[in-house]
Amino acid sequence: MAVNTSQEYDSVIAVCKSLFLKKTKDYGTAWRILRPSSITDQIFIKAQRIRTLEEKKVSKVGEDITSEYVGIVNYCVIAMLQLDLTEADPNEMEVELVENLFDQRVNETKELMFAKNHDYGEAWRDMRISSLTDLILMKILRVKQIEDNLGQTVVSEGVKANYQDMLNYSVFALIKLGVK
């Protein structure tokens, strides 16, 4: 069977986007109130829960690893949106606008994935899902440090690139988990 990363990626994103838009219809854009550090902490909670489930193999609240990876994808999109939106932008946005903004951030991130895949030869396909979880946790710690440094870096990429990497690692995990 031929592997089509673009189709697999799009399929996973469709699942994430569907949930994102349904929640936007239910809750509006309440996430606009979140500060960047709060979004980072939400991603951390989800990644830490995945790691706990990977190690303990049992969930007491009924949500599985898959739903947590979907949550990371969607929180990474929220983080990237919050980086671009200002206080002058409305807190409540129409679903259609949110959908367009979601698509823009995901398309940018997918392009980055293909550039990196070219250089790395899709090495993620041979990685363990637990390693993807650890990479996400490492990226979260990097973002937290950059946030603690008030966004200042000496030679490192900024927070957006880290959110993009976390989104892509989550998509890879979801592909490996068979989400379609």
For the segment 150-178, what is each residue's pLDDT rounded down to a tens digit? 888 888 889 999 999 999 999 999 999 99
Going by pLDDT thresholds of 50, 70 and 90, the confidence category of residue 52 is: very high
Mean pLDDT of 110-136: 94
pLDDT for 2 equals 56
Handedness of CA 36, 142, 162, 176 (dihedral sign): negative
pLDDT for 59 equals 67
Boundaries of every domain in the chain: 5-176
What end-to-end distance do the CA atoms of the chain give, in Å? 16
List the one residue out of 120, 17, 157 whose CA is nearest residue 76: 17
In whole angstroms, what separates CA 175 from the centre of its chain? 14
Unique residue bearing structure tokens 């960047």:
36
Mean pLDDT of 113-136: 94
14 pLDDT higher than 70:
yes
Going by pLDDT thresholds of 50, 70 and 90, the confidence category of residue 8 is: very high
Q: How does pLDDT run across 84-121, given as a tens digit for each residue?
A: 999 899 999 999 999 999 999 999 999 999 999 888 88
